[in-house]
Amino acid sequence: MSEPKPPDLNDQLLAGTLPADPFVGVVMSEDVPRIWSVRDLLAESMRFCLEQTRRSYCTLGHHAIDRATGGALAGEATFLGADSSWGKSSYAVMVADDNSRRGKRVLVVSAEDSKLTFANRLMRRRARVPAKPMRDKHLSSDELARVIDAHAKSELAPVFIDARGKPVEWLAPRIKTAINEHGIELLVCDYVGAFNKSKHLNDQGQRGTTQYIARTLVDIVKTCSPTGIAALILSQLTLDEKSPVPGKYSLRDSKDLVHMAENVLIGFIAPDNLTQEAGNRAVASKGDRCIRIVKAKEGEISKLPLVLPWNDTVACFETDLDPEQLRLDSLGAERYP
């Protein structure tokens, strides 16, 4: 004969034996999240405001972007959407290189380019050698000397993972391990549409796949450590022929990806001369590689495009950082952008 079922809370209520606090003596699981009081939250904000040290940030490659967004901060994801001809991977190389030169630990995870492709882009940028002769192996003796010198002066910091053909479920724990082992401060993912997911997962269409991959990459950024790390995640655009200048909702699967990110940048090539309304002054010429800041969670969006300097010979973006910031970096100081 089975034992009688112990009275539940409803039985105790009907019998008049329900204690004043039904949870007296109940042991709560350690997995139950802590509920923070208003005082707790404001105390944390107050400590943040009173701290004399500035928050360390990673540059996004241009002083105007850093000033508007606050730069790439720990625990925050910046999405850059651009068409395939704009130069997403070259932008990723610029951001990785600029931060590495500032002493930041950067990890580039590429699901599109091979190690050699990334290496050649980085070498062109550091050695200042032209793209076409490098591709065809027709570099001059002076250019080859610059290549050898760039290698000799290079740092030993880990920087690149070839993620081609690897599902994000396999990559995620390994990327987290690399981040923690090497003290990575900035993760660069190139690009969302090139990453794979496990075949056994139910297919929810291209939008569902993109959303799943993007969420997995963002979760790495936010959960790899108590404070997380900064991230630049590249994506494609779905262009509209009726709108020559793409906006926030040009980002592929934008309603999902935009909501995940703290900052969203849109890269595009100016289709015609773009002018500033006041005075009709030109701010970008046809063919310029431009960026618009269309989301900045704690910063400013931009109505006007920002032109990024591009070097056709070396086939790379040029750094345009604040001279004062560069001076402070040389002194080992940090400040807000």
Q: Which residues on neighbouring strands pair with residue 78, listed in sequence order?
A: 232, 263
Q: Residue 207: what residue type?
A: R
From the DSSP assignment, how many helices (H) and strands (E) are in the chain?
11, 12
DSSP labels for 122-167? HHHHHHT--HHHHHTT---HHHHHHHHHHHHT------EEE-TT-B
- Per-residue confidence band for 31, with pLDDT thresholds at 50, 70 and 90: low
CB 316 within 8 A of CB 121: yes
Whether residue 265 is predicted with pLDDT greater than 80 in this model: the reply is yes
- Nearest alpha carbon to residue 218 among 235, 207, 197, 233: 233
- Per-residue confidence band for 3, with pLDDT thresholds at 50, 70 and 90: low
**pLDDT score for 332:** 47
pTM comes to 0.78
Q: Is 71 left (phi over 0), alpha (psi -120 to 50) or beta?
A: left
**pLDDT score for 251:** 72
- Per-residue confidence band for 250, with pLDDT thresholds at 50, 70 and 90: confident
pLDDT, the chain, mean: 82
**pLDDT score for 208:** 73
pLDDT digits (tens, 9 = 90+) for 35-88: 888 888 888 888 877 876 666 789 998 888 998 898 999 999 999 999 888 999
pLDDT digits (tens, 9 = 90+) for 288-310: 999 999 999 888 887 778 899 99
CB 148 within 8 A of CB 330: no
pLDDT digits (tens, 9 = 90+) for 164-202: 999 999 999 999 999 999 999 999 999 998 998 876 555
Burial of 158 (0-12, 13-18, 19+ CB in 10 A): middle
- Per-residue confidence band for 283, with pLDDT thresholds at 50, 70 and 90: confident
What tokens does 288 get? 């310029």
